[in-house]
Amino acid sequence: MRDFAEIYPLVFTQGRVLERNGRTLTFTLAPAGRVSLPSGRIVACDPLTTSDLEPFVQAVIPGRYTVDLALMREKGQGERVAMARVRFTSKQPAVWVMALRKGEKLGSLGPGGYHGYKSESGTGAFMDATAFETADFAHHDDIDTLLLELTGNYEPYRYWMEYPLDRRMNVVMFSSGEGEGRYASYFGIDAGGDVCALVTDFNLL
């Protein structure tokens, strides 16, 4: 958690250049859309392969919130999504806590362990719990069409889109780092004790 807290402000700084383990990494920010959370219960998942998942225990004030991506480029390689963030307020996080679902406990983790979601399609997303129940992309009638829409914003090796479901709900989707994996999310808590951000880390750092 300490490493994440140290890396977060660097990754989400436009034009930041980091020298890390002999690698030169450049970060830029990209707006991915605004996620609608009418219930305030949030699901982060691979929307194309996940059909059964609990929302995070931590809820937020219902509303529509900005989603932005920290894009990482390494010399000689394509751009990738290093982290995805929902911003609930303009305040800065003072503390980070792992985002947990019902039944998950920090005490059950070993050294270096974390709770997170599994991505099998190389895609991540943020959405309201009601949207997750409604969308069910894992059983979508025309998944090929959906993938074409998703990759309309494609560049090697990243993509994102805001996918409307109806007037109230949508899903903001994006490529997950280097593809398949298991990814943790963290809530940022400001100095007043309020939730100000939610970040999914795609394990590129």
- pLDDT tens by residue, 19-56: 888 889 999 999 999 999 999 999 999 988 887 889 99
DSSP string, 102-167: TT--GGG--TT----EEESSSEEEEEEHHHHHHH-GGG-TTHHHHHHHHGGG-BTTB-EEEEE-SS
Residues with Cβ within 8 Å of residue 192, at least 6 apart in sequence: 91
The predicted pLDDT at position 14 comes to 94
Distances in whole angstroms, Cα of residue 183 to Cα of each of 32, 98, 180, 203: 19, 11, 9, 7
The predicted pLDDT at position 194 comes to 97
10 Å CB burial of residue 134 (0-12, 13-18, 19+) is middle
Domain count for the chain, please give it: 1
Percent of the chain with pLDDT over 90: 59
Mean pLDDT of 200-205: 92
Distances in whole angstroms, Cα of residue 48 to Cα of each of 65, 125, 137, 148, 181: 22, 9, 5, 13, 14
Cα torsion angle, 24, 96, 64, 132, sign = positive
The predicted pLDDT at position 109 comes to 78
Chain centroid to Cα 191, Å, comes to 23
Residues with Cβ within 8 Å of residue 59, at least 6 apart in sequence: 39, 40, 41, 42
Helix (H, G, I), strand (E, B) or coil at 202: coil
57 closest CA partner among 91, 89, 94, 98: 98
The predicted pLDDT at position 139 comes to 58
The pLDDT confidence band at residue 121, using thresholds 50, 70 and 90, is: confident
Expressed as residue numbers, the domain containing 88 is 2-105+112-201
Q: Token match 């719990």: residue?
A: 129
In the predicted model, what is the mean pLDDT of the chain? 88
Q: In the structure encoding, which two tokens stand for residue 194, read together? A: 């309020």
Percent of the chain with pLDDT over 70: 89
Q: In the structure encoding, which two tokens stand for residue 60, read together? A: 């937020």
The pLDDT confidence band at residue 63, using thresholds 50, 70 and 90, is: very high
Amino acid at 193: G
When computed from its CA atoms, the radius of gyration of the chain, rounded to whole angstroms, is 16
pLDDT single digits (tens) 133-159: 887 666 555 556 666 666 666 666 788
The predicted pLDDT at position 19 comes to 85
Higher pLDDT, 163 or 143: 163
